[in-house]
Amino acid sequence: MASKSARTRAGRKSNGFDDAIPVVHLKDIHKSYGDLEVIKGVELKARAGEVVTLIGSSGSGKSTLLRCANLLEVPQSGEIIFDGNPVHWKVKGSERVPADMNEVRLVRTNLSMVFQQFNLWSHLTILENVTEAPITVLGRSKMEAEQTGRKYLEKVGIVEKCDAYPAQLSGGQQQRAAIARALAMEPHAMLFDEPTSALDPELEAEVVQVIKKLAAEGRTMILVTHDMKLAQDVANHVVFLHQGVIEEQGNPSEVFGNTKSKRLIQFLSATVTA
Amino acid sequence: MMGFCADPATVEGVKWWMCYLTTNTHISFYKSFLVVLALLALTAPLAMLLGFAGALARRSGIFPVSLIGHTYTSMVRGVPDIVFFLFIPIAMDQAFELTRHKILCPEVIGPVYQGNDFVVCTAAKLPLSTADAWVHTTYGFFLAAFGFAIVFGAFAANTIDGALSAVPKAQLETAAAYGMTKRQTFWQIHLPQMWGFALPGLSNLWMILVKATPLLFLLGVEDVVYWAGALGKTKTAAYFDYPHGDWRLGYFAMLLVFYLFVTWVSENFLSRMQAKFNTGQATIGGKKLPQGIAR
Ligand SMILES: Nc1ncnc2c1ncn2[C@@H]1O[C@H](COP(=O)(O)OP(=O)(O)O)[C@@H](O)[C@H]1O
Ligand SMILES: [Mg+2]
């Protein structure tokens, strides 16, 4: 189960032990928009090689939680600990903000995000999309970045689309390119926010396949999904979020096979019939 | 001028035309086309620069800066263009001369505005009254170009500002999510994507600028319109070497062809640019753009 990214974290291979330092650790996160408290004290851990799937109805705060992990949103309280290093804070006006943007960038470059709407940069070709951040942010040479980029485009099966623009690709191809873009950062962990929700059912499968492949490689991932089968298949740990709190969590066979919370039972029956 | 043109009264046919079309006034006429092109070549980049400065000022988080940006754009956009074309060159000229007056001849006391006249010392004159005629012409031309640039810069600022806002937020947020700094995001993502949105507006502005060039005439620059009118007028044999009737129609037709040509070249170039930017244009939810737009 030692993926490349896991191996780079000196000596902290995925071993399943509870005492291993999580790659991503969100601690008692509270996030409000104005008066609306969206995340109400959530703790979430993803250890090396672990796939955590996050399920819950629309509006339950899944995206917000994920966006807190890479600091696209700043939680009002709680800690974000990446690879054992907590993000430090300072107060600006009446708000709490990260004290050091370098810490933020360190988290972001090691925690690549895949978005529901793909968000490929529309003015760049597929290859340029995949090499942009490695060149600009990580300071890789163009040649090196292209080599790496092609490798990951090949992995997701669209290396022949290198020179196309996002608009010229199908949704499934775009999402696979977006996954290649995330992989090209060679991150310690990956965030997926409903990566298949914007796709027609026939295109969904090709993306699901890629995600399963990555999970099987032992990549550390936090995956938000509405696809219960996918959640069950790839997860080491399932978290059910309801109105900003964790209602139930555990390993997939427990959560799906022996559901305890009423709300999750309700939610699961609704998604099956939907 | 060709040798056989020495005595215009004796030449005929093709030779007459060759002589006629190479008179000094005609040469000035031809040069005035270059003046128009020079004005365009100088005004466009200057206006773009002011446009960028104006747009960035407007978007600045620093209040005084954004106030300056807003004042510039709304003031220029609210006042009739012609007023600005007339106002700016004179205002700039007086501002320069006043500054020089204060520095170069501090010994002269008394107000610069004497009744209705603006009087500075001889040394402060711009250009100096001893300067060659071409210096005066060039100076006037540059003042005019500035007038154009300030007016068109304000419109460009509006377009650029709008285009910067039109870039989908998700594109910029994604850059941040991949660790780009604000500056990197601006140069790598925001600015390149802005062009696709700004180009239709800027193209429009360019065509309006082309059509506005005859206003140079108002500023005392002897432009194509001035010369076409002057050359086309009826010339009697008593006063002119090459007498002819009212040929204004012909001369203005030449202007027509010239402006149509500039328009044609511009539209070709701009539509090619637009096509280039469209290739990489927005995909919301990854949906392909309709073919018609994407090409
Ligand atoms: N930027 C925002 N401003 C205000 N409210 C927001 C914002 N983002 C999300 N919300 C609200 O937070 C709640 C959770 O949203 P979200 O995290 O997107 O849910 P999910 O991803 O589970 O569907 C929703 O009620 C949503 O309306
Ligand atoms: Mg969501």
Q: Which atom of ligand 1 is nearest to the CA of A65?
A: 17
Q: State the total domains in chain B.
A: 1
User: How wide is the angle at C-alpha B290 spanned by C-alphas B284 and B293, nearest 5°?
Assistant: 95
Would you say the C-alpha torsion B7, B8, B12, B18 has a positive or negative sign? positive
Q: What is the pLDDT along chain A (274 residues), one digit of tens a residue?
A: 444 443 333 333 444 445 688 999 999 999 999 999 999 999 999 999 999 999 999 999 999 999 999 999 999 999 999 999 999 999 998 899 999 999 999 999 999 999 999 999 999 999 999 999 999 999 999 999 999 999 999 999 999 999 999 989 999 999 999 999 999 999 999 999 999 999 998 899 999 999 999 999 999 999 999 999 999 999 999 999 999 999 999 999 999 999 999 999 999 998 865 4
Question: From start to end of chain A, where are the E strands?
Answer: 24-33, 36-46, 51-55, 77-82, 85-86, 89-92, 95-98, 111-114, 189-193, 221-224, 237-242, 245-250
Contact (CB, 8 A) for A2 and A14: yes
Best CA proximity match to A150, nearest among A163, A166, A136: A163
Tell me, using a 6 A CB cutoff, whether residue A172 lines ligand 1.
Answer: no
CA B22 to chain centre: 28
* CATH class held by domain A8-273: alpha beta
Rounded-to-integer distance, Cα B263 and Cα A4, Å: 58
Q: Report the separation in Å between the CA atom of A59 and the middle of ligand 2, taken as the mean of its atom positions.
A: 7
**Cβ within 8 Å, pair B286-A113:** no
pLDDT score, position B292: 37
Using most ligand atoms within 8 A of CB, pick from A29, A36, A58 the residue to mutate for ligand 1.
Answer: A36
Q: Which of residues 269-288 of B touch A (CB under 8 A)?
A: 277, 279-288
Question: Smallest Cβ distance to A117: which of B170, B180, B277?
Answer: B170
* Long-range contact pairs involving B269-272 (C-beta distance under 8 Å, separation at least 24): B270/B199, B270/B203, B270/B206
pLDDT score, position A4: 42
CATH number at B125 reads 1.10.3720.10
Q: Which residues of A touch B174 (CB under 8 A)?
A: 113, 115, 119, 121
Q: Which residues of A touch B281 (CB under 8 A)?
A: 122-123, 167
* Inside any domain, residue B6: no
Instruction: Give strand pairing partners of A25.
Output: A45, A81
* Inside any domain, residue B1: no
Q: How many CB atoms are closer than 10 A to CB B170? A: 16
Please state whether B88 falls in left (phi above 0), alpha (psi between -120 and 50) or beta: alpha
Q: For ligand 2, a single-atom ion, which residues have Cβ within 5 Å?
A: A 63
Contact (CB, 8 A) for A163 and A131: no
User: How wide is the angle at C-alpha B221 spanned by C-alphas B219 and B225, nearest 5°?
Assistant: 100
pLDDT score, position B130: 80
The distance of B254 to chain A (nearest Cα, Å) reads 42
3-class DSSP state for residue A270? helix
Q: Report the separation in Å between the CA atom of A197 and the middle of ligand 1, taken as the mean of its atom positions.
A: 16
* Inside any domain, residue B60: yes
Rounded-to-integer distance, Cα B196 and Cα B280, Å: 9
Q: How far is CA B176 from CA A87, A104, A182, in A?
A: 17, 10, 13
**Cβ within 8 Å, pair B280-A124:** yes
pLDDT means over runs of 10, chain B (295 residues): 75 83 85 88 94 95 94 87 82 87 80 75 81 83 88 94 95 97 96 92 92 79 80 79 83 90 92 80 45 34
pLDDT score, position A196: 94
Residue with tokens 């074309």: B85
pLDDT score, position A8: 38
Residue with tokens 């977006």: A178
Selected residue of A111, A121, A196 to mutate for chain B interface (largest B Cβ count, 10 A): A121
* Inside any domain, residue B4: no
pLDDT score, position A10: 38
**Cβ within 8 Å, pair B178-A132:** yes
Residues of chain A that touch chain B, judged by Cβ-Cβ distance less than 8 Å: 70, 72, 101, 105, 108-109, 112-113, 115, 117-125, 132-133, 136-138, 165-171, 174-175, 181, 185, 198
Contact (CB, 8 A) for B252 and B72: no
Domains of chain A: which residue ranges?
A: 8-273
Total residues found in chain A within this entry: 274
Residue nearest to atom 7 of ligand 1 (CA): A33
Q: Which atom of ligand 1 is nearest to the CA of A224?
A: 21
pLDDT score, position B44: 93
| pLDDT, tens only, A15-30 | 444 568 899 999 999 9
Rounded-to-integer distance, Cα A174 and Cα A160, Å: 13
**Whole domain around residue B115: which residue ranges?**
13-294
This model of the complex carries an ipTM of 0.90
Residue with tokens 């092609």: A150
